[in-house]
Chains A and B, each alone.
Chain A
Amino acid sequence: ETGVTQTPRHLVMGMTNKKSLKCEQHLGHNAMYWYKQSAKKPLELMFVYNFKEQTENNSVPSRFSPECPNSSHLFLHLHTLQPEDSALYLCASSQEDRGSGNTIYFGEGSWLTVV
């Protein structure tokens, strides 16, 4: 396995369900991210974890709950979602060295449909 892997690739869930998205990075990076990509909109940063500590939460509703148990794994727990939450959820990682332009590498994404 190389790069950033996300599972599942596709998920359909009802508004009362609870599900989780999983991400694993095999690049030895120390920072991980969740982004949301909706049609006709720029990628939106949701959460950042640096050295397993959440350093940014971009005003994301509480129905999205991130978890970062170690520097290689990242989860996004989903509950009582709304149809407008249907989107492509992208996990990414980077090697964070303060002050330098570190490249972010993305996974293939998890397509979420809320019905």
Chain B
Amino acid sequence: EDQVTQSPEALRLQEGESSSLNCSYTVSGLRGLFWYRQDPGKGPEFLFTLYSAGEEKEKERLKATLTKKESFLHITAPKPEDSATYLCAAGDSGYSTLTFGKGTMLLVSP
């Protein structure tokens, strides 16, 4: 059975304090590892897709990396507007169905 585990469940940072979110996965035949951002009361917003170990992608203050067992979302010098829940999902070799983690709730204080 495919599994995705995210840690920590919640993270509080000061503005400018860099950190990383972790996503470990157990998927047979990984087709893609996806990161989403979700603001309260809204649907998940797509951030990145990673396809193979060693791949990295960046967007503004966010950088996602992938190994054979886990993915990291690095947040450099975060701002209060980065506060959100970050979701990780893994897709297997079947159709576009994803297994989601529970998410990491990030709060960045000014």
Contact = CB atoms under 8 A, between A and B. Distances in A.
A109 interface: yes
| Category for how many chain B residues contact A | 20 to 34
B1 to A, nearest CB: 13
Interface residues of A, number: 30
A106 B44 contact: yes
A99 interface: yes
B97 A56 contact: yes
A90 B95 contact: no
A65 interface: no
Contacts, number: 67
Given A42-B4, A101-B32, A101-B91, A90 B46 contact: no
B96 A107 contact: no
Given A103-B34, A108-B43, A111-B41, A42 B102 contact: yes
B59 interface: no
Given A42-B102, A101-B51, A103-B34, A31 B95 contact: yes
Interface in B31-70: 31-32, 34, 36, 41-46, 49, 51
Interface of B: 4, 31-32, 34, 36, 41-46, 49, 51, 87, 89, 91, 93, 95-103
8 contacts: A40-B102, A41-B102, A43-B89, A43-B100, A45-B98, A101-B49, A103-B32, A106-B36
Interface of A: 4, 6, 31, 33, 40-43, 45, 48, 50, 55-56, 90, 92, 94, 96, 98-109, 111
